[in-house]
Chains A and B, each alone.
Chain A
Amino acid sequence: MNFYIKSFLIFFRIGLFTIGGGYAMIPLIENELVDKRKWISRDEFLDLIALSQTVPGIFAVNIAIFIGYKLRRFWGAFAMAAGTILPSFTIILAIALCFQQFKDNPTIESIFKGIRPAVVALIAAPTFKMAKSARINLYNAWIPVVSALLIWLLGFSPIYIIILSGLGGYLYGRYLHKQKTKKEDC
């Protein structure tokens, strides 16, 4: 079978059966591409995962794009990304079509009244997990607190927060670097 069709189908299957986004996909991709087909080595695979995490965008799609590009340049990336996207695109489109008709149904509405607070809690919980892995302590706790308040109370766009914090990290890194070279000069 053609390489592009095959890789499209592999990622289509993985995309169809993984609930929970990119991280849930990693072991499945590893099994398919590293263990079964030996298209890439494990070290290369781990490097690509690390790289996918440092670029913005949808993690699952980034993994597909970087592996595809590594194997067959642009069209490899295209085939694998299309495979990842298509299952969820189709399913959500079908739901959106149906949901428009059921939106005002009182039974559906009552079910969602119960679900909505749960969803908010499901976003709150990983916030604390993320705070742990981002090593938030007394000295840098002001960064998440101030950014959350700016977005929540003053209606700041999260995009500005991302740009500012990236820039802040860069400037701070440069400042530390300068201090270090100054000390070495003395």
Chain B
Amino acid sequence: MLFLQLFYAFFKIGLFGFGGGYAMISMIQGEVVTRHQWLSSPEFTDIIAISQMTPGPIGINSATYVGYTAVVNAGYSHAIGVVGSIITTFAVVCPSFILMLLISKFFLKYQKHPIIASVFNGLRPAVVGLMAAATLILINQENFGTSSFQVITSCILFIGTFIASYRYKVNPILLILICGACGFLLFNESMPSFI
């Protein structure tokens, strides 16, 4: 049953994932965190961090990771976890293959068709909303902490990273490494506390 659910969830993500990697984050979050609770919110954030630092699209990365983790968390062995990750990765690319076979029949006529153009006029603003929702959902106690020290530090890291990325286009990997180092220095219990 779990395997069917995993397949169905990632098939839907592949089928409705318009607008690139970041828009897909909202879709994956909706299925994996909100609906099925296969991952907690911080676990999901951690995968996005790992995806940013490793090669490969976020869609594939999260499918593989969730497939494995959800199965192992349900009490199965590591080997069956690997089967789970194969199922989810296959499921997320499956719609692309089906669409390819359909579209190749009309091929270039398809994208210049006025119906497709008007559908995309509706989709584009909604994708912006999806990305905003993904951000808002992730601003929570699990990611930003509960103690006032951690909340304040998290807000500073959030604002700093936002400005560095949006305004100065600093490489995201570098930003993740810097914030990871900050976390290590500030939150590690074996280190002497700064406050």
Contacts and interface: CB of A to CB of B under 8 A. Distances in A.
Contact of B42 (A116, A127, A161): A116
- Interface residues on chain A, size class: 35 or more
Main secondary structure of the interface of B (DSSP, over half): helix
Contacts of B133: 147-148, 151-152, 158
Given A118-B175, A158-B30, A100 B187 contact: no
B119 A116 contact: no
Nearest to A95: B50
Interface of B: 12, 14-27, 29-31, 34-35, 42, 45-46, 48-61, 64-65, 68-69, 72, 78, 81-82, 85, 89, 92-93, 95-97, 99-101, 103-104, 107-108, 110-111, 114-139, 143-145, 150, 153-155, 157-162, 165-166, 172-173, 175-176, 178-184, 186-190
Contact of B118 (A19, A88, A130, A169): A169
B119 A111 contact: no
Contact of B188 (A93, A106, A121): A106
B126 A165 contact: yes
A121 B159 contact: yes
A40 interface: no
A183 interface: no
Nearest to B78: A97
B145 to A, nearest CB: 7
Contacts of B110: 51, 54
Given A118-B176, A159-B30, A173-B118, A59 B57 contact: yes
A66 interface: yes
A48 to B, nearest CB: 10
A116 B161 CA distance: 11
The list of the 5 closest CB pairs from A to B, nearest first, reads: A114-B183, A169-B122, A88-B56, A173-B118, A147-B129
24 contacts: A21-B57, A50-B111, A57-B92, A57-B96, A58-B93, A59-B21, A60-B56, A87-B55, A88-B64, A96-B65, A113-B183, A113-B186, A123-B48, A123-B138, A125-B165, A130-B23, A131-B128, A143-B125, A161-B126, A162-B27, A162-B130, A172-B118, A173-B115, A173-B121
